[in-house]
Amino acid sequence: SGHALLAGRKAVVTAGPTHEPIDPVRYIANRSSGKQGYAIAEALARLGAETHLVSGPTALPDPAGVQVTRIETAREMLAATEAALPADIAICCAAVADWRADTSTNSKLKKDGSGQIPPLGLVENPDILATISVAGPKRPRLVVGFAAETDDVIGYATAKRQRKGCDWIVANDVSPGTGIMGGDDNTVHLITAGDPEHWDPMPKAQVAMKLAERVADALTDKQ
Ligand code: C5P
């Protein structure tokens, strides 16, 4: 579109899963495709924002007009996201692994035939959304998180907005059967300081464009 509603703005977007190594050949991961986050980065760039996408491992090509940093772990994602600040807008779409192995080893774990199972200890990963939402000189003016829920979507998403300290939460229902995880369509609710907004089901690319336009409105205080 010819409308450079976000010209002169800087945006950072996280997307995809993270991979947390257990040993050189094994890792903890999840089923995030990265589709929604990539679409959002592309939409922000199309509206003229200088857009930096920090992505975990995905099968997707780099979106047009976007600077992409590919990382593997949550800790790498946090470092790359912080390196992309200051920015006006941060949108955290990534499905960051909540935990990583406490002892990632450089040697492959071996089955020794004794039936002994190696203990897998976990430690918590940093929360990127919560970290960049903390007030400070580098906090983006608008920080947006995502919430994938299966029950009481609005209730949990509203609580998540408070807990994370972000400005908006884009909430979706990922119950089995919705086809949202890995699918091309999305049904979302936008949780702001005001009343929740319920958006019709639409392709992820359209969710992205509508969200980018809402972001532009918010930054121009048009409401
Ligand atoms: O806590 P939960 O994973 O449900 O929150 C989801 C939101 O928090 C998403 O916006 C996700 O990108 C972000 N998040 C994060 N870092 C984490 C966990 C979640 O940025 N370690």
The model carries a pTM of 0.95
Residue 146 in contact with ligand 1 by CB distance below 6 A: yes
Task: Provide ipTM, 2 decimals.
Answer: 0.98
Q: Are 94 and 56 in contact (CB under 8 A)?
A: yes
Residue 94 in contact with ligand 1 by CB distance below 6 A: yes
Phi, psi of 23 (to 5 degrees): -155, -175
Confidence of residue 21 (pLDDT cuts 50, 70, 90): very high
Distance of alpha carbon 49 from alpha carbon 65, whole angstroms: 10
For the record, the structure tokens of 135 come out as 């007030």
Nearest CA to 91 out of 173, 170, 1 is that of: 170
109 alpha carbon – ligand 1 mean position (Å)? 30
pLDDT, tens digit, 9 for 90 and up, residues 197-221: 999 999 999 999 999 999 999 999 7
146 alpha carbon – ligand 1 mean position (Å)? 7
Confidence of residue 223 (pLDDT cuts 50, 70, 90): very low
Residue 97 in contact with ligand 1 by CB distance below 6 A: no
164 is in an annotated binding site: yes
Across 93-107, 157-171, 194-208, least confident range: 93-107
In this prediction, residue 222 carries a pLDDT of 53
148 alpha carbon – ligand 1 mean position (Å)? 9
> Is 30 annotated in the active site?
yes
Confidence of residue 192 (pLDDT cuts 50, 70, 90): very high
Alpha-carbon torsion (145, 150, 156, 158), positive or negative:
positive
pLDDT, tens digit, 9 for 90 and up, residues 40-85: 999 999 999 999 999 999 999 999 999 999 999 999 999 999 999 9
Q: Are 172 and 187 in contact (CB under 8 A)?
A: yes
Residue 168 in contact with ligand 1 by CB distance below 6 A: no
Residue 129 alpha carbon, nearest atom of ligand 1: 20
Mean pLDDT of 99-121: 87
Mean pLDDT of 153-165: 97
Whether 118 shows a pLDDT value over 90: the answer reads: no
Mean pLDDT of 168-192: 85
Residue 169 alpha carbon, nearest atom of ligand 1: 10
